[in-house]
Amino acid sequence: MARRGGFPGGMPGNMNNLMKQAQKMQKQMEENQKVLEETEFTATAGGGAVEVTVTGKKEVTRVKLAEEVVDPDDIEMLEDLIMAATNEALRKMETETQAVMSKLTGGLGGGFPF
């Protein structure tokens, strides 16, 4: 007669270990996310004439302009440089976030519910 109640060979112990590992991974992910949110990422455009800093929360915290780039007759160029520097800073933030999370998940991807 077959035994009732699950897998032979102690699977409940293995399931507990798996749950503990999942909880540990979740805690590490939360800690890493907090660190990333507080980290600043800076990028420049126009040979350093425009510098933009963003946080891991995708918030712009600083914009620095070289005096020579502020030309009232060419506002469009300044707008383009600010946009380019901001986008590059955001790309740096995304790359770092993916690298940190990939280390934690072992490259398995981000499909985990925790």
Q: Could you read off the pLDDT of 60-112 as tens digits, one per residue? A: 999 999 999 999 999 999 999 999 999 999 999 999 989 888 887 775 555 55
| pLDDT value of residue 114 | 47
In this prediction the pTM is: 0.69
| pLDDT value of residue 7 | 54
* Cα–Cα distances in angstroms (integers) from residue 48 to residues 18, 81, 85, 100, in the given order: 49, 10, 9, 28
- Does the structure show a pLDDT above 60 at 19? yes
Q: Which residue has the higher pLDDT, 64 or 21?
A: 64
- Alpha helix ranges (H) inside the chain: 11-38, 75-105
pLDDT tens for 40-57 read 999 999 999 999 999 999
Distance of CA 101 to the CA centre of its chain: 8
Mean local confidence (pLDDT), 10-32? 82
- Does the structure show a pLDDT above 60 at 22? yes
Q: Which residue has the higher pLDDT, 14 or 68?
A: 68
Choose among 27, 13, 21, 63: nearest CA to 42.
Answer: 63
pLDDT tens for 25-37 read 888 888 888 888 8
